[in-house]
Amino acid sequence: MTQAAPIQTATARKQVSGSQALLEAFLTEGVDTIFGYPGGAIMPIYDALYDYGDKINHILVRHEQGGIHAAQGYARSSGRPGVVFATSGPGATNLVTGLADALIDSTPVVCITGQVFAHLLGTDAFQETDVINITTPVTKWNCQVTDASEIPAAIAKAFYIAKSGRPGPVLVDITKNAQLQMFDFEGYTPCEHIRSYRPKPIVRQEYIEEAAAMINAAERPFVLFGQGVILGNAEAEFKTFIEKSGIPAAWTILGLGALPTGHPLNVGMLGMHGNYAPNVLTNQCDVLIAVGMRFDDRVTGRLDRYAKQAKIIHLDIDPAEIDKNIKADVPVWGDCKETLPLLTELVQQKSHPEWLQRFHDGDKQEYEQVIHNELNPTDPVLTMGEVIKILNELTGGDAIIVTDVGQHQMVANRYAKMNHTRSNITSGGLGTMGFALPAAIGAKMGAPERTVVAIAGDGGIQMTIQELGTIQQFGMNVKILILNNQFLGMVRQWQQLFHERRYSFVNITSPDFPKVAEAYGIPGQKVSEREHLRTALQTMLEHDGSYLLEVMTGKENNVFPMVPQGCGVAEIRLS
């Protein structure tokens, strides 16, 4: 493959095309991987990319939605922005679900879409859509470029906005004439400041002091932590804070992994299918400290029954999240990597043994009524929980787990052991079925040295199953675990519990998944008996390359505990 002639990035001018300038910007930003799908309106960029094959790895996905989910997985496992290319019209609109997913989950993604020639804008030209207005609600920032000379500044701004402050997706729509146009390129300068954009609020020392005084006076303090700890690279600072203060800490789904699951102060998962004790004791603590989480409805249940007895301290980088759902008594604005050490310095060294014991007592009750039967079933039918239990034993809690959406997601998040940060990749806020397989591809590209296991249901896997072709073409090593209960399981559970078992269109038939994988050159097998489960999981993990394992689980098994919709967190049900 022809190697691109190096383009000067100093002050010397050189005539280059807009497409070349775009790729030079990527090199300066450290981009090593792009996920994408070519088409007519983005063809000049792909033509330029032909000369950069030794510098930038391009992964040809099978659908643009797969491309953006892969970019999300890359960002979540690596901590760097994911990059995705799509053409105009349907190529661009196929990104919308992933953009919405990335926005609500604060995932930094840079999307480049091709667009028709500038003189054709607004004429309903072939494959023209108004991608700017379509994607404005689901991006942190977007813009359209119609002149090649604007490309370097637009890309610099895009990367800065995507990864600064509260991260998120951005989109740059580039017309075809701008991609082809030659201009005097004076080099690429990354953006470090945008007037009127303040990615991090000013830390106010008086709020730090108020929060510390409140924590020091508390008898039953409780910490809730979310993905903000991970996004802020503040895992060490968070661990130091809870260990000095001795406060029990529970995680949101996206916060899983910020603190090792085996840590003695980690008391489990919050929310609708979270652990019993953290949910119930939320309504018994006297001070509630929220770190990098947004009090979404799946965590709070009914707001008028949520932690009414507690003083609320809320640490967040996004001022819009503070007081949005839960009124904070002390708002601590700022990056938690900065605010946590300031708070830790002022809190007293303490332990709360009696308070912590109440969490352990709740754990015992949940274990006896729910967990024991899920992880150690006596019924011959396999449970999702026992699959995750054995997976934990075989991976040692060191794998990256990428989950789709549904019952398997809740079970995996409840029971997966994680020793390291950036180990849990899932669609949290949007709940996008079809997320797992392409996101696992991106996760593996972002962390090639780690074992990546995609866990999906029989419904979600079929939404993006074509990405097996991407795995085949690029020889990726992704482990694919399908937990098949022959239902759209989470919807069926709700229909059983709240709609008198009126199972309306949740029965789903599926192909022979191992045979589908075999058609893509990926080995696999199906397991339905307990005696073969461990060996099958071990075979999957030890195989040199991708492997698909389908496990048949109970058709009407439910995920408990559960906070029914419209109830408070203390009304959590164990059965």
3-state secondary structure 70-133: HHHHHHHHHCCCEEEEECCCHHHHCCHHHHHHHHHCCCCEEEEEEECCHHHCCCCCCCCCCHHH
> Quick one: tokens of 423?
């180990």
Domain 382-556, second-level architecture: 3-Layer(aba) Sandwich (3.40)
Catalytic residue (one of 55, 117, 127, 474): 127
Cα of 391 vs its chain's centroid, Å: 21
Task: Pinpoint the residues of the chain covered by CATH 3.40.50.1220.
Answer: 205-358
Write down the catalytic residue from 214, 463, 490, 540.
490
pLDDT (mean) for 45-70: 97
Peptide bond between residue 561 and the one before it cis (omega within 30 degrees of 0)? yes
3, 84, 7: which is closest to 470 by C-alpha?
84
Average pLDDT taken over every residue of the chain: 96
Q: Among 3, 126, 327, 350, which one carries the catalytic annotation?
A: 126
Contact 289, 375 (CB under 8 A): no
Residue pLDDT, tens place only, 139-162: 999 999 999 999 999 999 999 999
DSSP 8-state assignment for residue 461: G
- Answer yes or no: CATH 3.90.1570.30 is held by domain 205-358: no
CB-CB neighbours of 509 under 10 Å: 6
Report the pLDDT value the prediction gives residue 10, as an integer from 0 to 100. 45
Q: Which residues contact 364 (CB under 8 A, 6 or more apart)?
A: none
Q: Per-residue pLDDT averaged across 382-402, rounded?
A: 97
Q: Whose CA is closest to 230, among 195, 248, 256?
A: 256
- Cα(402)–Cα(107) distance, integer angstroms: 15
Q: Please say if the pLDDT value at position 350 is more than 60.
A: yes
Return d(Cα 337, Cα 427) in angstroms, integer: 24
- For residue 314, the cross-strand partners are 290, 331
pLDDT band at 12 (very low <50, low <70, confident <90, very high): low
pLDDT score at 1: 40
348 is catalytic: no
Mean pLDDT of 75-104: 98
Of the residues 157, 176, 239, 311, which is catalytic? 176
Annotation says 476 is catalytic: no
Tokens 């079929």, located at residue: 462
| Token pair 């929980």: residue | 385
- Pick from 121, 183, 130: nearest CA to 152: 183
Average pLDDT over residues 264-273: 96
Active site residue 1: no
Mean pLDDT of 85-102: 98
pLDDT digits (tens, 9 = 90+) for 233-265: 999 999 999 999 999 999 999 999 999 999 999
Contact status, residue 139 vs residue 112, Cβ threshold 8 Å: no
Q: Lowest mean pLDDT of 96-100, 114-118, 556-560, name the range.
A: 556-560
Which residue among the candidates 64, 128, 321, 550 is catalytic per the annotation? 64
* Mode of pairing for the β-strands spanning 14-17 and 182-185: antiparallel
> 449 Cβ partners below 8 Å, 6+ apart?
none
What percentage of the chain has pLDDT greater than the value 70? 98
501-549 per-position pLDDT tens digit: 999 999 999 999 999 999 999 999 999 999 999 999 999 999 999 999 9
pTM: 0.95
Q: What is the CATH number of domain 14-185?
A: 3.40.50.970
Q: Report the C-alpha gap between 383 and 425 in whole angstroms.
A: 22
Q: Which of 73-77, 264-268, 363-367 has the lowest mean pLDDT?
A: 363-367
Q: Is 473 a catalytic residue?
A: no
**Range with lowest mean pLDDT among 11-20, 182-191, 432-441:** 11-20
HSE, side-chain direction, 13 A CA sphere, residue 158: 30
For 285-306, write each residue's pLDDT tens digit: 999 999 999 999 999 999 999 9
* Peptide bond just before 248 cis, omega within 30 deg: no
Q: Are 447 and 517 in contact (CB under 8 A)?
A: no
For this structure, is 350 an active site residue? no
Measured on CA atoms in the order 531, 537, 538, 543, is the torsion positive or negative? positive
Q: Which residues of 510-525 are buried (b: 16+ CB within 10 A; e: fewer)?
A: beebbebbeebebebb
Q: What pLDDT was estimated at residue 565?
A: 86
Instruction: Say what the pLDDT of residue 248 is.
Output: 98
Average pLDDT over residues 434-455: 98
Helix (H) or strand (E) holding 494: helix 489-498
25-60 exposure pattern, b = at least 16 Cβ within 10 A, e = fewer: bbbbbebebbbbbbbebbbbbbebbeebeebbebbe
